Each structure stands twice: as structure tokens, then as C-alpha cells.
Amino acid sequence: MYPQHYRFTKEHEWVYVEGDVAVIGITDYAQRELGDVVYVELPEVGQELTAGKVLGSVESVKAVSDVYSPVSGEVVEVNTALHQAPEKINQDPHGEAWLVKVRLRDPAELDRLMTASEYEAYIAQASQASGSSSE
């Protein structure tokens, strides 16, 4: 389910690296918790992101969820297709629905993030804590 070459945050973002560019999105778990996504707010190209700080937000009809940047660096591309089709986040959260691409400033930041198996264990625990079902 969760790609092996991705890294994950506790706030349910994912990141993987192509060359010196990090691709960032939100996890399948996050999109399921949120429900039907209706709007995505993304940063502008050229904006500097800091690891752990808000980069934008994802909205469902009745909830807004901030998205935190897993890594630091300059935004080189944003997925503007999501403005027209936010539902892609529900359909393909780990692929087509990436949010931003960032020129990685400090690759060591990746080491602090969870691997796929660590993340799977983390969300298994989270689901138990919050009850059986999701809204």
C-alpha cells in the first residue's frame, strides 16, 4: 500500500526524492480520514518551505487540514491540476495527486521521517486510538 521508497510524517504527508527534488503529497490514510477533497491550497513557485511548517491546506466539505512540509527548500513546481480536479487526491494520493516539488536543501531531513513499514505501524495505532470507523 505505502510505497517503499517514500518517507512519511506523523501529520500524514509523504515525500520521495528524484535527483535533488523532493516530491510531496498527503497519504492515503489522510485522504480517507478527510473524506471527499473539495479544495487544495498550494504555495507559489519560488516560495521557501521549512520542514515542519505549513505549506498549504486540503479541504473536504466540513473539514480543513493543514499540510506540513516534510522537508525544507524552494518550491519549484506545484500541481495546479489539483485546482480543477481536487478529487484526484482521493483517487490517487500517492501518484497523480502530488502537491508540490521542492528543491531539497538538506537531504539529512529525510532521515528523520518514517519508512513505509514504520508509518503503517503508526497509523494502525492511530486508528485504534480513535475508534473503529472514520468520517
- Tell the smallest beta-carbon distance from residue 5 to another protein (Å): 31
Burial letters 11-49, b for 16+ CB under 10 A, else e: bbbbbbbeeeebbbbbbbbbbebbeebeebbbbeeeeeb
Binding mask 87-106 for another protein (x = CB under 8 A): x-------------------
- Tell the smallest beta-carbon distance from residue 135 to another protein (Å): 6
Q: Does 53 bind another protein (CB under 8 A)?
A: no
Query: Stretches 8-16, 19-27, 59-67, 112-120: which one binds another protein (CB under 8 A)?
Result: 59-67
Q: Which three cell numbers stand for residue 113?
A: 521521517
Interatomic CA distance for residues 63 and 59, integer angstroms: 6
Query: Stretches 25-33, 45-53, 111-119, 124-132: which one binds another protein (CB under 8 A)?
Result: 124-132
**Segments of the chain assigned E as strands:** 7-8, 13-18, 21-26, 37-41, 48-49, 54-60, 64-68, 73-78, 100-104
Indicate the residue among 65 and 115 with the shorter CB distance to another protein: 65
Q: Does 46 bind another protein (CB under 8 A)?
A: no
Q: Which residues bind another protein (CB under 8 A)?
A: 36, 38-39, 41, 59-64, 86-87, 130-133, 135
